């Protein structure tokens, strides 16, 4: 078997779950390296603020917009004419990466004028540091535009290996940058690590494309019907991403203004919260997306609904206990992951307050990923974008008007409320397409998850005296393990069918070969 090869939805779910775990574990190691060396300081605020302009460039013009629009159209053409599909993919790759490259050069030249205009609340020295660090990071936007386009092409071929490994390599690049250049360059080493990580992220996907039927030939077929259709589908999604980027800008401005290290604490908390979202929400939704696109293309809404329901139940099985566990142990989790060096108890307390509020959003943000892809597979990017923009407006209101008055935790409380709103509205709007959704099965599944999570919370609270018996971090780690075991024990006792997902992942990982024709077992 080739290392890079097509993988079924079941194998893909297992692979993405495992590599997401590895990637986010390494991401937390990355955050620890940054926290221990720089803490919640103005230097870390500068580093986080410097991502803003490259991220706007990348996300608005190519990333999520392309992910939403490309796959359903490309999959449709692949089933009819592979040569034509390759031409379309080459055009998207050529035009997208060229646009990002041109915009990057323009931004590089005018960065010293742009930053003081964008970051008005930052000090002159901080503005100067953001200019320098952003210029270092700009090449990463070009690398990620190429890598993201290749990732979507690889997904259409059901090649998930390099797609899954590349985020691990990205985090590794940042860690290596800090370890090798940190003493000499300070926080700038992290910015250099972003570029190193981008090279690794893109490089492995380039290698993987040689094992597919795709062959890149520079093309500018911008008037091709498929290219125009992709562009048409991208535009609404771009508005949603613009709304999110505006929120990131608001987080940066308000966070810097409220307190030194506020933006850094928010980003550290967000990264811990997103561990569960990415591991379960994004990984399961990504794995099922090509199959949703196929089912929608064939008008097979029975399979389409079945895949959505199973995926939602699996996501809730993992994210509800994650939410409860983080709420009960927010301080312990922050201390284990980030505590030490210049990341003192004040940093731990500030970050854990924000993390507690973030925990509420975990199930809702995770479910949002599968619901959005359910619409994208129908080649409908307008509906989820409108709902998303409204939700982003709610987050902006909370950040601007409530956080300065009631505390920085309203950054994440507003985030949680907005994602809950988004899920409710998307479910209502999607219900007509959900043929045969088994509400009874869903209700029983949810009741078992809530019961197991509730008992886990009680066990975690009762286990608190362990902290007085031994080293604090060791005690916290033991409590996390006890909580996890109690959840799975209760889930096993009440025969929660989602446990099959874990058995399946371990079977794929440890012994059984990946069958390219199989699907995930029933939830």
pLDDT tens, position by position, 281-322: 887 887 788 788 888 888 888 888 988 999 999 999 999 999
User: In this structure, is the dihedral angle defined by the CA atoms of residues 245, 371, 422 and 234, taken in order, positive or negative?
Assistant: positive
* Helix, coil or strand: residue 6: strand
How far apart (Å, rounded) are the C-alpha atoms in residues 356 and 336?
15
pLDDT in tens, 154-184: 877 778 888 888 989 999 999 999 988 888 8
Q: Which two tokens stand for residue 430?
A: 């999607």
CA dist 278 and 394 (Å) reads 23
Contacts of 150 by beta carbon, 8 Å cutoff, 6+ apart: 93, 202, 205, 206, 208, 209
List, for residues 365-403, the tens digit of each pLDDT value.
999 999 999 998 888 888 998 999 999 999 999 989 998
b or e along 427-451 (b: 16 or more beta carbons within 10 Å of the residue's beta carbon)? eebbeebbeebeeeeeebbeebbee
- Contact call for residues 291 and 424 (beta carbons, < 8 A): no
Tell me the percentage of the chain whose pLDDT exceeds 70: 90
3-state secondary structure of 159: strand
DSSP state of 119: -
| Residue 345: exposure state from Cβ atoms within 10 A (0-12, 13-18, ≥19) | exposed
Q: Following DSSP, what letter does each residue of 329-381 receive, concatenated?
A: THHHHHHHHH-BTTB-HHHHHHHHHHHHHHHTHHHHHHHHHHHHHHHHTTT--
> Do residues 334 and 272 lie in contact, with contact meaning Cβ atoms separated by under 8 Å?
yes
Overall average pLDDT of the 32-36 stretch: 87
Q: What is the pLDDT of residues 419-457, one digit of tens each?
A: 999 999 999 999 888 888 889 999 999 999 999 999 999
Quick one: pLDDT at residue 6?
65
Q: What is the largest CA-CA distance in the chain?
A: 70
> What is the model's pLDDT at position 186?
85
What pTM value is reported for the model? 0.73
pLDDT at 63 over 60: no
SS3 label, residue 212: coil
Q: Which residues contact 478 (CB under 8 A, 6 or more apart)?
A: 463, 466
Distance CA 58, CA 75 (A): 24
Cα–Cα dist 277/474, whole Å: 26
Distance CA 361, CA 420 (A): 7
Is it the case that residue 473 has pLDDT exceeding 70?
A: yes
DSSP-assigned beta bridge partners for residue 343:
340
Q: How far apart are CA 109 and CA 30, in angstroms?
A: 30
């Amino acid at each position: 078997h080739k290392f890079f090869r097509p993988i079924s939805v079941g194998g893909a779910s297992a692979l993405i779950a495992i590599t997401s775990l590895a990637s986010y574990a390494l991401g937390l190691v990355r955050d620890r390296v940054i926290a221990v060396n720089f803490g919640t300081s103005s230097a870390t605020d500068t580093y986080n603020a410097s991502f803003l302009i490259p991220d706007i460039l990348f996300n608005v013009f190519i990333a999520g917009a392309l992910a939403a629009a490309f796959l359903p159209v490309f999959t449709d053409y692949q089933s009819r004419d592979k040569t034509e599909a390759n031409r379309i993919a080459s055009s998207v790759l050529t035009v997208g990466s060229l646009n990002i490259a041109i915009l990057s050069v323009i931004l590089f030249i005018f960065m010293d004028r742009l930053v003081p205009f964008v970051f008005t609340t930052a000090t002159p020295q901080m503005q100067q540091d953001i200019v320098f660090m952003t210029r270092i990071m700009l090449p990463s936007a070009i690398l990620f535009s190429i890598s993201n386009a290749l990732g979507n092409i690889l997904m259409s071929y059901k090649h998930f290996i390099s797609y899954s490994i590349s985020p691990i390599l990205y985090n590794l690049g940042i860690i290596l940058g800090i370890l090798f250049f940190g003493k000499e360059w300070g926080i700038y080493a992290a910015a250099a690590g972003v570029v190193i990580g981008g090279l690794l992220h893109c490089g492995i996907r380039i290698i993987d494309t040689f094992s597919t039927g795709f062959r890149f030939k520079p093309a500018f077929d911008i008037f091709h019907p498929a290219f125009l259709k992709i562009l048409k589908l991208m535009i609404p999604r771009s508005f949603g991403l613009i709304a999110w980027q505006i929120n990131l800008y608001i987080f940066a401005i308000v966070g810097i203004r409220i307190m030194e290290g506020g933006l850094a604490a928010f980003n550290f908390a967000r990264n811990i919260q997103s561990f569960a979202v990415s591991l379960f929400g994004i990984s399961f939704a990504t794995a099922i997306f090509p199959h949703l696109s196929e089912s929608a293309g064939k008008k097979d809404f029975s399979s389409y609904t079945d895949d959505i329901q199973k995926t939602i139940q699996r996501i809730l099985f993992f994210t509800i206990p994650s939410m409860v566990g983080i709420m009960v142990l927010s301080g312990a989790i922050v201390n284990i992951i980030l505590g030490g060096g210049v990341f003192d108890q004040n940093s731990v307390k500030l970050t854990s307050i924000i993390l507690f509020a973030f925990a509420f959003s975990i199930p809702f943000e995770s479910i949002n990923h599968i619901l959005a892809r359910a619409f994208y597979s129908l080649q409908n990017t307008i509906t989820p974008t409108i709902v998303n923009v409204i939700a982003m407006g709610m987050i902006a209101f909370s950040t601007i008007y409530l956080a300065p008055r009631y505390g920085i935790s309203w950054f994440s409380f507003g985030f949680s409320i907005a994602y809950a709103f988004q899920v409710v509205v998307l479910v209502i709007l999607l219900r007509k397409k959900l043929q045969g959704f088994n509400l009874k099965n869903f209700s029983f599944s949810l009741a078992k998850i809530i019961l197991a999570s509730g008992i886990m919370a009680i066990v975690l609270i009762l286990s608190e005296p362990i902290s007085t018996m031994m080293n604090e971090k060791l005690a916290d780690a033991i409590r996390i393990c006890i909580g996890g075991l109690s959840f799975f024990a209760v889930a096993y006792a009440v025969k929660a069918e989602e446990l099959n997902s874990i058995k399946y992942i371990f079977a794929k990982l440890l012994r059984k070969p990946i069958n390219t024709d199989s699907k995930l077992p029933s939830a």
